[in-house]
Amino acid sequence: MKKNKTGFWFVVITTSLAFVVSQLDVSIVNVAVPHIGRSFSANISTLQWIVDAYTIAFAVLMLSAGGMSDLLGSKRLFQLGLLIFGVASVGCGIAWHPLALIGFRALQGIGSATMIPSSLSILNNNFASEPKLRARAVAYWTAGGAISIASGPVVGGLLLNLSSWRMIFLVNIPICLAGLLLSTYLTNSKRNKSHGFDIPGQVIWTLSLTVFIAAMIEWHTLGPGSPLIYGGIIFSLLMFGLFIWRERVAKAPILPLDLFSSKNFNLFIGLGMSLNWIYYGLVFVLSLYLQQVLHYTAFHAGLAFLPLTGGFLISNLTSGYLMSRYGIRVPIIIGAVVFAIGCLCLLLAGIHIPYWHLLFPFFGLPFGMGVAVPAMTTGTLSTVPANRSGIASAVLNTTRQAAGAVGVAIFGTMAVGGSQKIVTAITHIAIIAAVFMLLYAFLIYKTLKEPEHH
């Protein structure tokens, strides 16, 4: 019994390091955005690219990385991803120009796309025969990433206070080295040699998402009437349609469309996208709000985000308990409703407000997300056999990251134009997001079928 317990924690901790470092880099940059902008004299479009270059690369390559995990073995790909991410972090730390920083951020995204599906695949393969143990493992894995994404602004604010914005990237290096060292003791998963690569599909998908995000980011600079904007949107939609057609006829599609024959799988994917586009976009805008409207320093803005860490920590552990007792349906509904309430509380945001007005939304948003996401992730894995866990987790994370990039692009564009514009953007986002999440909670309640194993 003791040996199994030790093995459980070793696998969870080792795989969680990848999720921790990748999610830390999603949010730690947000609090440093104004500093990076001043350092390079960059406008908001450039800052959105610095944030989204990582997320776009993450999203467009994760589908192929999921297939590679099944084909080559999850351990090998996990180690490769950690190595790429570590090297890219060094590049970000020494970046000499905004374009160099954007390029290294994209390389970080490639590393994340490589190691995240493989880390989840390692978990699923180690505990596939024990559904309850797998649910616990996924809950702890998710908790590690959720806590890191919530603590990112706090850590970033502290590092900015002690040093410069470059340190927020260099802090990744010891985490990557620890992951590489520990991963040598993991066993490699079974390889699914029947899986191949769909290079045309990968290229089409990359064009579709990248052009769409570019159009959203440059919307406020060029204007909606610009041929580059509406032409880009039309082109991206045509590419997406072509991508779906390609995946129907490809011998080895990077997106197996048969996964979407499961109603539960579709619900989980939709929920993941909804949570990410709202949360990522809100955190970006709230970082601007704290520093440009309320005039917090980077350090105090980081401390202001501290309730996010507590919310994720408590909620992810709570989700594991709720799953073991009630299955996945109850925590998903509770999480969606609490998330919606947190959004509505952001209506209190104004140009002159005390910080305590923001306490509940800063706690409620991560709490709701943290309760729902472990159940959603466990439910997604339960819809596929173990040897397809890599591609299933890749689809889930791809759609979530793509939605997050869209959220930053759209919400960031809404917030351009001074303090009042930022406050107005938060108000509009809060109302739309709350209504959307309440409707989704109702949809889950009415249509989600509990998987046989949770």
Q: How confident is the model at residue 390, as a pLDDT?
A: 65
Over the range 131-162, which residues count as b (16 or more CB within 10 Å of their CB) and which as e? Answer: beebbbbbbbbbbbbbbbbbbbbbbbbbbbee
Positive/negative CA dihedral, 166, 161, 297, 411? positive
What is the pLDDT at residue 4? Answer: 42
Identify the pLDDT of residue 193. Answer: 55
pLDDT tens for 64-85 read: 775 666 666 778 888 899 999 9
Torsion over CA of 101, 102, 107 and 109, rounded to 10 degrees?
A: 120
Residue 48: CB atoms within 10 Å: 26
* Two structure tokens written together for 44: 């908001």
d(CA 55, CA 69): 20
Q: Do residues 210 and 53 touch, judged by C-beta distance below 8 A?
A: no
Query: What is the per-residue pLDDT for 38?
Result: 84
pLDDT of the residue at 243:
92
Cβ atoms of 299 and 159 closer than 8 Å: no
The confidence score (pLDDT) of residue 267 equals 87
C-beta of residue 302 within 8 angstroms of C-beta of residue 155: yes
- What pLDDT, on the 0 to 100 scale, is given for residue 191? 57
Q: Which residue numbers in the chain have pLDDT < 70?
A: 1-6, 66-72, 128-129, 188-197, 224, 386-387, 389-390, 449-454
Q: Which residues contact 275 (CB under 8 A, 6 or more apart)?
A: 339, 369, 372, 373, 400, 437
User: Residue 184: how many CB atoms within 10 A of its CB?
Assistant: 9
